[in-house]
Amino acid sequence: MLVFITPKLNSSRIPYSYRARATIPSANVKDSRVTDDINSLQPGDIAVLGKKHTKEDVEYLISKEINYIVDVADDKFDQFKHWYFTIPNANAVTTTCHRLREVIQEETGSKSYVIPDPTERQRGKPKFEVKDVMNAFYYGSDGNYSKLMWPEIKEVLNKIKKTNVKIMTNVSEHPPKKQKLTKKHGGWWLEPQKRSQLENYGMKQFKELIPWDFENQGKLVEESDFVVLPVVDDRHSQCKGNNRPIDALQQGRIVLTNPGIPSYEDLKECLFIGQFYESYQLMIDNPKMVITKIRNAQNLIDQHYTPIAVGKKWEQVYEIVKRNDI
């Protein structure tokens, strides 16, 4: 049996990373289950360990002669030094995108299988209409949003068309008492000049933030004219999967983004990727092109990103590990 191991949760809400890399695949793979109890594994089981596994977990599996797969969904090699032991000793390694596969091989010498995150969204009708005032929507973790210069991004968009931007992230919905960015509120790792700029942007920035919620995210995508996903070009971002644009496109909304995440380039025929000024102008001038791109995306999603399609990829890796154990 393929057994997805997840950490014990302190709440009933299952984080997206666990749903995408454990509960959804398990629901679409025959002979599989999810557990937070590694001691429940039986001989013949094959364990799937997520990024928060420990060296002790692997030593236990090895002692019980239980095969295991390490699933690497983020570039955390600077934090999780035990990966240099657990990944090379794995029976297989999986990951979310081609760039992260390259990093895994560079760091450990191990090859890996790319299995993208599945979309949880229902397919929506492609929609794009140019209005006097356009409504854009951004969603992403505080680790993504806090690296971005939102005043400049909004200024560029509004040079083309008056555009309102709603931002959803997982920082506190309440602004800090002092105009000082902290780890709790995002932006804590920024260089001093950039952090100062965000602090000077003031409480208004924090008051505009919408706390992350799965259902509300879907609702706000439907209410938007397009989804804007600016990114930064650093090693951590380069290793991100493309689940964010996939979700928006599945719901029938076009995505505007910029270069920086290679997995987004896999969707270049399905979204607008480039410098924001030129790309946004192209969107506004070509509504029919927008609809065509969304339709192309949804056809691609049917082939590669639905829970069923992703489940088949997990089954393939499962069968490979089983065959190698004979």
Distances (CA, A) of 3 to 43, 173, 194, 289: 12, 36, 44, 44
* 151 assigned to some structural domain: yes
Q: What is the pLDDT of residue 12?
A: 62
- Look at residue 89 and tell me whether its pLDDT is greater than 70: yes
The 3-class SS string of 88-124 reads CCCCEEEECCHHHHHHHHHHHCCCCEECCCCCCCCCC
For 32-65, give the DSSP string.
Answer: EEEES-GGG--TT-EEEE-TT--HHHHHHHHHTT
Q: Look at residue 126 and tell me if it is in a domain.
A: no
pLDDT score for 325 = 62
Residue 275 and residue 297 in one domain: yes
Mean pLDDT, the chain, rounded, equals 89
The angle subtended at Cα 17 by Cα 116 and Cα 176, nearest 5°, is: 130
Axis-axis angle for helices 287-304, 307-324 (nearest 10): 30
Q: Do 201 and 266 belong to one domain?
A: yes
Number of Cβ within a 10 Å radius of residue 184: 11
How confident is the model over 7-31, as a mean pLDDT?
Answer: 85
Residue 127 lies in a domain: no
For residues 100 and 174, membership in a common domain is answered with: no
- Does 179 have pLDDT greater than 50? no
What mean pLDDT is predicted for residues 152-180? 77
Q: Does any domain span residue 128?
A: no
Question: 7: which DSSP letter?
Answer: P
Tens of pLDDT, residues 39-69: 999 999 999 999 899 999 999 999 999 999 9
| Short-list 262, 270, 322, CA closest to 296 | 270
Mean of pLDDT values over 154-162 = 95
Query: Residue 5: what residue type?
Result: I
Q: What is the pLDDT of residue 171?
A: 65
Residue-level pLDDT at 206: 52
Into how many domains does the chain fold?
2
Q: Which residues contact 64 (CB under 8 A, 6 or more apart)?
A: 41, 43
**Neighbour tally for 208: CB within 10 Å:** 12
For the segment 194-249, what is each residue's pLDDT rounded down to a tens digit? 445 554 444 445 557 899 899 999 999 999 999 999 999 889 999 999 999 999 99
Q: What is the mean pLDDT of residues 4-14?
A: 79
312: left (phi over 0), alpha (psi -120 to 50) or beta: alpha
pLDDT tier at 134, thresholds 50, 70, 90: very high
What pLDDT is stored for residue 146 in this prediction?
78
199 and 93 part of one domain: no
Answer whether 66's CB lies under 8 Å from 43's CB: yes
At 22 the three-state DSSP class reads helix
Q: 286 lies in which domain range?
A: 134-304
Q: Based on the fold, state whether residues 100 and 179 are members of the same structural domain.
A: no
H/E element holding 8? none
Written as one string, the DSSP assignment of 299-324 is HHHHHHTSHHHHHHHHHHHHHHHHHH
Q: In this structure, are 59 and 71 located in the same domain?
A: yes
CA-based nearest residue to 163, from 256, 252, 251:
256
* Residues 30 and 170 occupy one common structural domain: no
pLDDT score, position 285? 98
Q: Match 């290793």 to its residue by tokens.
A: 239
The single residue listed with the structure tokens 């997840």 is: 6
Cβ–Cβ under 8 Å, residues 19 and 120 = yes
